Amino acid sequence: MRVSLKDVAAHAGVSIKTVSNVVNNYQHVTPAMRERVQASIDALGYRPNLAARHLRKGRTGIIALALPELGNPYFAELAATVIDAAAAHDYIVLLDHTGGRREQEILVSQGFRARVIDGLILSPIELETEDLRDRAEKVPLVLLGERDYALPYDHIAIDNVAAARTAVRHLIELGRREVAFIGDRRGRSEPAQLRVRGWREELTGAGLPADDGLVAATDGWGHADGAAAMARILESGRRPDAVFAYNDPMAIGAMRVLHERGLRVPEDIAIVGFDDVVEGRFGAVTLTSVSPDKEAIGRLAVESVLARLGGGEAPEPRRVWADYRLVQRESTLGRGAQVSDGRG
């Protein structure tokens, strides 16, 4: 039989209100009383009915997280941080997969699940500003990623231009002079454009050529796309001494092609990825990568949603820059190198 607040109150010899205050972590409960009630909670195995608690506040206790590529390791790791951050506030997360398709992103943003969620965290790829400008749905919306909509929604991102410059600067400081970029996605992709911009600015600032012949466009951002892009560069007769990849899967795909063609990483060609996913830490050559603070992104996104459910005056919409760092590993420093986490 389920243990109730009444059972805990009787066991502790206090009122139901006092137990409720302890369960809801109200500050005016004395330490001695809190300890007494908590002892009864532990003894009886009481678990709060979170659904009932949320319903009393007119909420569902659910936040939706809509991502473009659940198969992408970065988004999988990001989802885990959002789920953990939501759980800390007694919320659960409903995952939506948009596939990066505009029609699906519109459907999600316009309230497809509005009746079952309290807020939405969306990482858009193809969504346009006009798709959001007249959004009638009142469920709080928080945007992730680098698409700039200039609209009154909270937006959590990292500075992609600065992060890309950090990656390319690392290669230049190692003596690399011909740096390729793979992952300039065909069609519009603001993150890719920002990373190419950072690549170009850092090379130009160092007095090195930003050679468009070393920028490889792709249709996607997976391992096969990185492998194909690397092969095209080599088959063009070019031999860069370094590669900055749009993300880690593409970097790993490129490294496979280099291995098959007898080229060594990093002796012949150094490689830097982006996102610092777990996979890159366990290859035969570990991958140097730009590491966004995924925990901070998840926490800030959840806190932004909940801040708009607080019942008082909602804060002004804000754009928040999460931190990043460059984690230096064997793909640039050589075999046996000690990992170095350089702050961006």
Domain boundaries, the chain: 5-48, 60-158+294-312, 160-292+325-343
For tokens 């990066």, what's the residue?
A: 100
Q: Given this model, what pLDDT does residue 73 score?
A: 92
CATH topology for 60-158+294-312 is Rossmann fold (3.40.50)
Confidence at residue 343, expressed as pLDDT on a 0 to 100 scale: 46
Q: Work out the average pLDDT over 97-126.
A: 88
Integer CA distances (angstroms), 220 to 69, 192, 216, in order: 11, 11, 12
Query: Which SS3 state, helix, strand or coil, does residue 290 take?
Result: strand
Per-residue pLDDT, 327: 97
| pLDDT at residue 312, rounded to an integer | 57
Phi and psi at 319, nearest 5°, equal -105, 125
- Whether residue 342 is predicted with pLDDT greater than 70 in this model: the reply is no
User: How confident is residue 50, by pLDDT bands cut at 50, 70 and 90?
Assistant: low
Q: For residue 277, what are its two tokens? A: 């996913």
Q: How many CB atoms lie within 10 A of CB 323?
A: 13
- Whether 60-158+294-312 and 5-48 are alike in CATH topology: the answer is no
Kindly indicate the confidence band of residue 76, based on its pLDDT and cuts at 50, 70 and 90: very high
**For the chain, what percentages of helix, strand and coil (3-state, to nearest 5) are there?**
40, 15, 40
Q: What is the DSSP string of 264-283?
A: -TTTT-EEEEES--GGGGSS
Confidence at residue 142, expressed as pLDDT on a 0 to 100 scale: 95
**Helices 31-44 and 16-23, packing angle to 10 deg:** 90
What is the fold, at CATH topology level, of the domain defined by 5-48? 434 Repressor (Amino-terminal Domain) (1.10.260)
User: What's the rounded Cα separation, in Å, for the pair 189 and 201?
Assistant: 18
Contact 292, 123 (CB under 8 A): no
Domain made up of 160-292+325-343: CATH architecture: 3-Layer(aba) Sandwich (3.40)
Is the previous residue joined to 266 through a cis bond, with omega within 30 degrees of 0? yes
- The fraction of the chain above a pLDDT of 70, given in percent, is 90
pLDDT, greater one: 111 or 218: 218
**Residue 88: Cβ within 10 Å count:** 10
Instruction: Tell me the two tokens of residue 138.
Output: 């009142």
Element (H, E) at 324: strand 324-328
Query: For the residues 100-117, what does the mean pLDDT come to?
Result: 85
Of the two residues 14 and 65, the one the predictor is more confident about is: 65
Cβ–Cβ < 8 Å for 60, 90: no
pLDDT at 172 exceeding the cut of 70: yes
pLDDT at 48: 67
**β-pairing verdict for 119-122 and 62-67:** parallel
pLDDT of residue 344: 43
- CA dist., res. 172 & res. 270, Å (int): 11
pLDDT digits (tens, 9 = 90+) for 227-240: 999 999 999 999 99
Q: Residue 287 and residue 167: Cα distance in Å, rounded?
A: 12
pTM (predicted TM-score): 0.81
d(C-alpha 171, C-alpha 342), whole Å: 13
pLDDT higher at 337 or 151: 151
Alpha-carbon distance of 288 to 311, in angstroms, equals: 45
Average pLDDT, the chain: 88
Q: What is the pLDDT of residue 245?
A: 98
Highest mean pLDDT out of 98-102, 131-135, 291-295, 335-339:
291-295
- Model pLDDT, residue 311: 59
DSSP 304: H
Lowest mean pLDDT among 34-48, 59-73, 166-180, 324-338: 34-48
Tell the residue number behind the tokens 């346009």, with chain if given. 128
Position 59 scores a pLDDT of 63
Q: What are 118-152's pLDDT values in tens digits?
A: 999 999 988 888 888 878 778 899 999 988 788 88
The DSSP 8-state label assigned to residue 97 in this structure reads E
